[in-house]
Structure 1
Amino acid sequence: MSVSATLCSFLKNKGCSYDTIKHDYSFTSLDSAHRASIPVTQMAKAVVIHQKNKFTLAAVPAMNKVMLPQLAAITGSPARLAKEAEIKRIFGDCEEGAIPAIGQAYGLDVVWDDRLTEADDIYIEAGDHQSLIHLKRQQFQNLMKNKQHGEISCAPEELYDLSHY
């Protein structure tokens, strides 16, 4: 495979230049960062969220977990993780577990974590398990312009039960 046709078309239509980075097969975004020898803080992973009758994509640093109550507070809607079958329907031209953190290419609302502005370079899954898209910070920010954002993720060891919110 390589770069998903949907993502490629979207980036082209936005006039966004990017590099494609190849790496050994990986199953997670965190593993992709390790295999491509890039800092995990520069790898943005996609987490698909179901909110009411729609799906939202949360773009967060690969080493972090989404904090659903914080995401719900920003979007104003209760949130749960999407099911694999739901994700497959949305990202039909991507391999399972390799979805790009550019949800607007697939017609999804996007919420992104503010920590992604700290890196000069951002890498995202390209749609398969052996390719990454490399974007400069400004390109990523232009793609995320007017998208909701905030502190929506944390390190796994910092995650605690927030179900009372």
Structure 2
Amino acid sequence: MRTITLLLLLTLPLASQSFAADEDVEINSPSTIMLQYLAAQRDYLKAEISAAGTWLNGNEYDLKTFQRLFDDNRIDRTDRRLMQAIGIYMGDLLQEATYNNFRWASYEDDKGKSRALCLREQTPCVFPSTLISRRAEGGANVNFYEIYQRTLEQLQQVPIR
């Protein structure tokens, strides 16, 4: 019952694809290829933000910078790669804010393989790379800081064993 309550707590406020806590999954440490992909996405984000005339500070303030650029149409909401790069950046902030209790991992289920932040290579997991891109592609309101804060609050409620 405790697990079901935790799952409901984690999944209600965010899109259904945001969190997972399924027993029939395989979670592994990130491969070298995955780490290279994450690094390439971070570099892409830095280049795009620089081209928009600003820079990254490496903290939560950057989420407000993303919002300003997004609202001013200085970054393209239809650029899936950029939206996923912002999600990865947000994942890095979440990892740091949870004292590395949630870390990048390879998450594989019957739908395929994904990059996720998982609780010490187990469930629950959050999928930051698509947390932003799916909202942007769907035309939903995207508030980077609010999404980050809600996700962080939920991660902080997960009991650390």
> What is the TM-score of this pair, normalised by structure 1?
0.31
Bigger fraction of residues in strand = 1
Bigger fraction of residues in helix = 2
Higher-Rg structure is 2
> What is the TM-score of this pair, normalised by structure 2?
0.31
